[in-house]
Copies of this chain bind each other. A is one copy, B any other.
């Protein structure tokens, strides 16, 4: 429905069928948004979990290599070349696992946090406001109903005035809740765009930092290390084969 981007707050008092129909469109859009975000949230949660697992598994591998020299191998106790080589591997793999851990933290802060906030705060607020609005509408209907039955019979002035007071306050309450509900639905149309873009920007920035960290600090030193390993392996280990 192009062109419509706001529920008219000024028409909330009137509560016309047109306004109600427009509200239906906004509610439908909110449901579609909620469903789409739920899928995106799950996908991002999978990325985040996998990144954490990768970081943990990389760290574990590094620790196992570090522990090589503590293993009780009855043979090869004199194998210093192997031990020092594995220590070096342990060191660079540990550095890599640190890069992964930084990436995990950045994803938590810049991707998971905003999308979780949107899910748990903004979308949840709409659900609650809808309920509150429904309750106040029901209260108002009850009061109006009571008033309409009242007018056909003879009642004392005290009851009449009480019922009218009730219609007035429930109408006022309903008007307040619908204003709040409309305002939140209008706001959601903008918030959802930010809520889509913010975690994506956070994700991309985290990836860029990760690649920069990896390529600037690590790969050159890794390549030197691998060249040394290559030479050392050829000299000390492979020649025995």
Residue A150 interfacial (CB < 8 Å)? no
Decide: A61 near B77, CB < 8 A? Known: A204-B226, A219-B212: no
A111–B79 Cα distance when bound, in Å, is 23
Would you call B194 and A92 a contact (CB within 8 A)?
no
Chain B residues with CB under 8 Å of A2's CB are 77-78
Please give the number of chain A residues whose Cβ is less than 8 angstroms from any Cβ of chain B in the complex.
77
Contact of A211 among B4, B79, B194, B215 (CB under 8 A): B215
Q: CB < 8 Å: which of B36, B56, B85, B197 contacts A237?
A: B197
Contact B238 A194 (CB under 8 A): yes
Whether a CB of chain B sits under 8 angstroms from the CB of A72 is yes
- Closest B residue to A100 by CB, please name it: B50
A17: interface (CB < 8 Å): no
Decide: A1 and B61 in contact? CB cutoff 8 A: no
Interface check A13, CB cutoff 8 A: no
B61 and A26 contact, CB distance less than 8 A: no
Question: Known contacts A208-B219, A208-B223, A211-B211: does B29 contact A76 (CB below 8 Å)?
Answer: yes
Interface flag for A143 (CB, 8 Å)? no
Chain B residues with Cβ under 8 A from A193's Cβ?
79, 82, 237
Binary CB contact string for chain A from 26 to 65 against chain B (1 if under 8 A, 0 otherwise): 1011001100100110011011011101101110110011
Contacts of A36 in B (CB 8 A): 64, 68, 71, 73
Considering the complex of A and B, which 8 residue pairs feature the smallest CB-CB distances, nearest first? Answer: A46-B57, A215-B215, A50-B54, A2-B78, A50-B53, A211-B214, A29-B75, A43-B61
